[in-house]
Structure 1
Amino acid sequence: MNKRLLLLILTVMLVLAGCGQQPTADESEANGANESNQEVTLKVATLIPPMTEVLDLVKPVLKEQGIDLEILVLSDNVQPNNALANKEVDANFFQHVPYMEEYNENNGSELVPVTPIYNAMFGAYSKGYDKIEELPEGATIAIPNDPSNIGRSLVMFEKNGLIKLKEGVGIKATQTDIVENLHNYKFTEVDLLMLARTLDDVDMVAMTPAYAKPLGLTPKNDALVTEGKDSDFTITLVARKDNVDSEPIQKLAEAMTSPEVKKFFEDNYSEIAVPAFE
C-alpha cells in the first residue's frame, strides 16, 4: 500500500509540473496545443519605431486569440536575425528582404519572408545644405555599411545623377562599381544605427525615415534626394522555413496587415511610411 500511494503522489506531482509550463509557439505547433484554449508565447525581435509600435498595437489582438506576444527590442541590426536563426525567437520585424537574403547567404540560415508591412522611403539628408546642387566638390556622404544598403544607397544616388554605376550591378553595387563620379564625392560606410549621429560630421547622410524622424526629418520635406516609390526594400515580417506556416505566425501576419495597422501608419507616419498591403 505504501508503495502504491507513493507512486500515485509522484504521478500527480509530475502532471501538475507539466501543466505549469507555458509552451512556445514552436512547441505548441508540435503538440497541437494551439488548437486548444491553452495560451502560447510568440517571441518577436525588433529594433525601433515604428516597428515596435506596430507590434505593441497588435499585442492585445493576439492576446484575445490565445497568443502572448513577447516583444524583444534589441540593440543592433544583426541580433534579430541571429536570434531567429538560433530559434531564440519565432520571428523578427525590422528588415527588408535583400538584407534577409544577404544574411542567409552569409550564415547558411533559412529565414523567409512572411508578409510585407510597409515601405519606408530611403533618402539623403544634410545639415548644411538645402539642395543637392549645393553639395560641394569632394563632399563626404555617409551610407549604411551592410552590403544590401550600400547597393541601395548607390542606386539612389545614380538615379538622382550623382554617380554612375557599372551596368547591371543594381542593388548589389559596391563602391568599386562606381564608374563615374564627376564631383569626387567620398562615401563613408557607417553602421546603420550610427548613421543619424554622423549628420554633424559629414556633408550628407543616406538613411531610412525610421532613423531620420527622431531628428525631425522626413523624406517628403527634408531629403535632398530619395529613392522613389519603386523600391525593393519593403520592411517585412520574417520567420524561419520551419515555422513560417504555423498558426501563431500566420495570426501575427494577419494582425499586422489589418485595417487598424493601416490606419496607424496613415495617422502617424504618412510622410515617411506607406503600408505595403491593401
Structure 2
Amino acid sequence: MKKTGLFLTSLLLAASLVTACGGKQEAAPANGGAAAEQQTKIKVGVTGGPHEEIFNKVKEVAKGQGIDVELVVFNDYVQPNQALDKGNLDMNSFQTIPFLAKFNQDHKTKIVEIGKGVTFPMGLYSTKHKKVEDIPEGGVVGIQNDPTNRARALLLYQAAGLIKLKDGVKDNATPLDIVENPKKLQFKELEAAFLARSLGNVEVASINTNFAMEAGYSPKKDAIFSETSDSPYVNIIAVREADKDNPTYKKLVDIYRSEEVKKFIDEHFEGAVLPSW
C-alpha cells in the first residue's frame, strides 16, 4: 500500500508540473492571441451610406488599438436611438444635435452627445440659376416639410441673404417666421426625398446631402450655396447618459476624430461630407 501511495503521489506531482509548463507556454503566444481575446467590444448603430462607410474605416483603425467594433446598420432615424436606449447598442452615429434634442423630448430618453462627427451640408440647388442673386422676384422655392429640416432650410435661405427670420426662432422656424422677404419668394414645402426631383418646377430648392448625391449632384460642385463645416447641424456620436464618461467609448471617439479617418473622409467623399475637426 505504501508503494502504491508513493507511486500515485509521484504521478500527481508530474502531472502538475506538466500542466504548469503547458500553461506557461500558452500564456505568451507569439502572435499576441491572448491580448486579442481581451479586446473590448463596442456595438455601434449607424444608418446605411456615408455613416456606415465612415465607421467601417473607424472599425479598421480601432482594431489595431484593441477595440473590436461591431456595426449595426439601420434604414431609418428612429430605431438607432430606440436600440441605444434599450441597451442593445453601446453608441450610435447618425443624427444632428437638434434631432437628438427633439427625440429625447418626445420619447423621454436620456441620450447624450459624446463627440462631434461630420456635417452633411444642406445646399441650395438649381437647374436654372448659377447664383442666388439670379433667383427672380416672386419665384417659387422648395423647402423640406418636416419640422427639423424645414427650420434648417429656412436658416440656410437666411444665410444666403434671401430672407430674414424672426429673432430667436432657430430650430423652430417656419415660413410664418419670415420677417423680411425682399424677392417675395414663395416657399413650397415638399418631402425631403422629392426635392431633388422637383428642381424643374422651382427656381431653387434646399436639398439634404444624401438626397442630392442620390440624384447625381455633388454638394461641393453643384450647390449654389451651402452650409459650412461649422454648421450647428453637425452629426454627433451619442451614448446613454450613464455611459458618457466611459473611457473606452471616449477612446473610440478619439479614433473617429483622428487624422487617418479625416483623410479617408476627405478623399472618399470629395467634399460632400465635411469633418468637424
Distance 2:227 2:109 in 1: 29
1:230 Cα deviation after fit? 4.2
Match of 1:246 in 2: 246
Q: 2:117 is paired with a residue of what secondary structure?
A: strand
**Distance change (3 Å), C-alpha of 1:125 and 1:110:** same
The one-letter code sitting in structure 2 at the alignment partner of 1:42 is: I
Q: Equivalent residues in 2 for 1:95-244 (5 A)?
A: 95-135=95-135, 137-143=138-144, 145=146, 147-181=147-181, 182-191=183-192, 195-199=195-199, 202-244=202-244
Contact 1:144-1:195 within 8 A present in 2 as well: no
Distance 2:118 2:48 in 1: 14
Shifted more, 131-140 versus 88-97: the winner is 131-140
Distance 1:204 1:76 in 2: 27
Q: 1:157 is paired with a residue of what secondary structure?
A: helix
Contact 1:142-1:198 within 8 A present in 2 as well: no
Match of 1:256 in 2: 256
Match of 2:85 in 1: 85
Shifted more, 259-268 versus 170-179: the winner is 170-179
Deviation track 1:53-91 (CA, whole Å, cap 9, x = no partner) reads: 111112133334444322122112222222222222221
Paired-residue identity, %: 33
1:138 Cα deviation after fit? 4.3
Distance 1:228 1:58 in 2: 23
**Distance change (3 Å), C-alpha of 1:148 and 1:130:** same
Contact 1:122-1:227 within 8 A present in 2 as well: yes
1:196 Cα deviation after fit? 4.2
**Distance change (3 Å), C-alpha of 1:184 and 1:61:** closer
Match of 1:21 in 2: none
Q: 1:45 is paired with a residue of what secondary structure?
A: strand
1:163 Cα deviation after fit? 2.3
Residues paired across the two proteins, number: 241
**Distance change (3 Å), C-alpha of 1:160 and 1:81:** same
After TM superposition, where is structure 1 displaced by more than 6 Å over at least 4 residues in a row? none
Contact 1:144-1:207 within 8 A present in 2 as well: no
**Distance change (3 Å), C-alpha of 1:170 and 1:256:** same
1:206 Cα deviation after fit? 1.6
Contact 1:142-1:204 within 8 A present in 2 as well: no
Q: CA RMSD in A?
A: 2.7
Distance 2:220 2:36 in 1: 48
Q: Equivalent residues in 2 for 1:267-278 (5 A)?
A: 267-277=267-277
Contact 1:48-1:210 within 8 A present in 2 as well: no
Instruction: Could you tell me which runs of 5 or more consecutive residues in structure 1 were left unpaired when the two chains were aligned.
Output: 1-34
Instruction: Could you tell me which runs of 5 or more consecutive residues in structure 2 were left unpaired when the two chains were aligned.
Output: 1-34
1:216 Cα deviation after fit? 3.0
Distance 2:40 2:231 in 1: 36
